[in-house]
Amino acid sequence: MIRNLSLAALAATLALAGCSAAPANPATGTAPVAARASDPSRLTQAEIEATPGLSTAFDAVQRLRPAWLRATGARSDGQILVFQNTTRMGTADALRQISIEVVGSMRYLDSVDANNQLAVAGMGPVAGAIIVSTRGR
């Protein structure tokens, strides 16, 4: 009985040790697994802060969610639009003008959701949208 309890305690300790946060890989700059979100359509402030060497929103997306920058699917001929809060900033290149210090989080909308949720009428084919929420919003 005591041996079974000892084995259970050891297993629990090893499981908890596996959950501890690891530092970012300095060679690749990738965030530790514990800091990564399970939602591929969101980029959290915690993920951004856990990734060294980012200076713009573009850097964060390029490093942590590169698929957001590629137009795919039915609207692969379209462009990726960028919104800062509710203001349209332009295409994906506009992310280069947004300092990482002001970014609270980011969210990606595919072409269907972008066309349904945002005022994109008259903008030509829209492949998706990246919405940058600033800190404090």
Q: What's the burial of 92, exposed, middle or buried (CB within 10 Å: 0-12/13-18/19+)? A: buried
Kindly tell me if the per-residue pLDDT of 5 is higher than 70: no
Report which of 63, 49, 26, 65 is spatially closest to residue 101, judged by C-alpha positions: 49
- Domain 39-134: which CATH number of 3.40.1000.10, 2.60.120.460, 3.90.930.60, 2.170.130.10: 2.170.130.10
Segment 60-87 shows an average pLDDT of 86
> In this prediction, what percent of the chain has a pLDDT beyond 70?
65
- Has this prediction a pTM greater than 0.85? no
What are 32-61's pLDDT values in tens digits?
544 455 689 999 999 999 999 999 999 999
What are 95-121's pLDDT values in tens digits?
999 999 999 999 999 988 888 888 776
Which DSSP state fits 60? Answer: H
Question: What does the pLDDT read at residue 74?
Answer: 56
Name which of 5-9, 70-74, 91-95 the model is least confident about. Answer: 5-9
**Quick check: 31 and 4 in contact, CB under 8 A?**
no
The b/e string for 13-35 (b: 16+ C-beta within 10 A; e otherwise) is eeeeeeeeeeebeeeeebbeeeb
